[in-house]
Amino acid sequence: MGASTTDNYSEDALPAFTPMPWSLKEIRAAIPSKYFVRDTSRGLLYFARDVLMAAVVWSLATAIDPYFKQTATRELLTPVGAEVARWTAWSIYWWFQGLIFTGIWVIGHECGHGAFSDHKIVNDVLGFITHTFLWTPYFSWKISHHRHHSNHASMERDEVYVPKTREDLGIPNEAEGHTIDYDEYFGDTPIYTLYMLIRQQLIAFPAYLRKFYALYYLRFTTRSNSWAVFNVSGQKNYPKWTNHFDRKCSFSTVLISNLIRSEYTANSILFTKAQRNAVILSNIGIAFMVWGVSYGCSTFGTANVIKYYGIPWLEVTHWFIMITYLHHTAAELPHYRGKEWNFQRGAAATVDRNFLGWQGRFFLHDVAHYHVIHHFFPKMPFYHGPDATQHLKAFIGDHYAYSNKPVFQALWESYNKCQFVENEGDVLFYRDKKGQAVRRPADQYRVLNTKTL
């Protein structure tokens, strides 16, 4: 950069980063082979545990309203006290059922990687069932998620959480003797920033149905009274309407017109002709969910569907967006351009987090606690993650990223600190709302006009 925006900020004083030198083969050799063994029976036991927990918690929830609405309870607690207790009980149900549902989604995620079983049919059948139940087009997601793993942290090819550049945000380059007023670009009040963060957390997952992992919003198209979903955080060369449903055919119009109108979805470039049938099958699954939820609302009442299923599902959208955002977004993590990127460098550009403590480990199958090893070796079963991570850490040393920061604090800090990267350079770090970074590329990777002089 040019002149500093804060008197005591010096880019030269930042910790210097040199990209990791090892090949994937060298890293793979440091991990004992036993951790790559997939045990279908063990995976099925985890899945059965999740389904059993969901059923038990659901069954217990059926007693909430009858108990707290009965006369004896209202006399004991007073009418107001009984209502407070009733909604407290529902909140407890939503919390734990949301975690359990998210764990079931993680099982489907394992299947999509082929990490659940050695048998492709087991992976795809179970993955299709679990993800469809939670409104995720399994095969479509599987295809684009593979592309994300294959290209993570590449500015040119990654599929999700691709940083905005200075140019994207219309911010001029800094030059010596010229100071930019960053408040003109990032002068939002904390309340508005909080609103935007909550919006990301709650409605990014529905947008994720159009393109892997999320992304920032749905737009209501008044011309057709339908929801249209945008490509808002993927590659800039993707068409505006890129989504998970369109496979260069009008099939989605017939099956899920209530979800997305094909007249507003351009032909998706995410999929090939060979993947057409798999994408159609994903659409059939989502269409079945449209029918199933509609039938449930007409049979059991919309309020009950929302209470028992809708709110826990909304929590899945929150947890998964929060987890994936924090996996891939931190001021200390690099992004790469051109020849400086390779698969193993991209895999290391993720961070393990202590996500919800024991609840994250138990209910979410360690998906947040041991994500780095997953990016290196996506077919490794989640239950080997803790032990394999110890070997990975011992080999790559400081290139392993871990944060023990409370996750909601980390979410707020990442959302405020990770604003943009520079237009030039092959090793990049996020800059905050003052244009400042917390880390810089080593001298041989720096671009002269981005240094603080």
pLDDT at res. 241: 42
Which neighbouring-strand residues pair with 219?
228
- Taking alpha carbons only, the member of 135, 111, 136 closest to residue 47 is 111
Q: What is the pLDDT of residue 254?
A: 37
In the predicted model, residues of the chain with pLDDT beneath 70 are: 1-7, 176-177, 205-271, 448-453
Q: What is the pLDDT of residue 325?
A: 93
Give the CA dihedral 327, 331, 336, 341, nearest 10 degrees: -50
For position 197, what pLDDT does the model report? 81
Grouping H, G, I as helix, E, B as strand and the rest as coil, residue 191 is: helix
* CA–CA distances in Å: residue 381 to residues 42, 108, 177, 366: 10, 12, 54, 11
- pLDDT score for 208: 55
Per-residue model confidence (pLDDT) at position 271: 65
pLDDT score of 4: 41
d(C-alpha 436, C-alpha 432), whole Å: 5
How many H helices and E strands in the chain? 18, 8
So what's the pLDDT on residue 235? 56
Q: Where are the beta strands (DSSP E) in 56-204?
A: none
Contact between 437 and 429 under an 8 Å Cβ cutoff? The reply is yes
Q: Give the model's pLDDT for residue 181.
A: 87
pTM assigned to the model: 0.85
Give the pLDDT confidence score for residue 201 in this predicted structure: 78
Provide the pLDDT for residue 250: 36
Can you read off the two tokens belonging to residue 95? 């919390």
pLDDT at 261: 35
User: Residues 359, 361, 365, CA angle at the centre, nearest 5°?
Assistant: 120
Q: Residue 430: how many CB atoms within 10 A of its CB?
A: 23
Tell me what pLDDT residue 340 has. Answer: 97
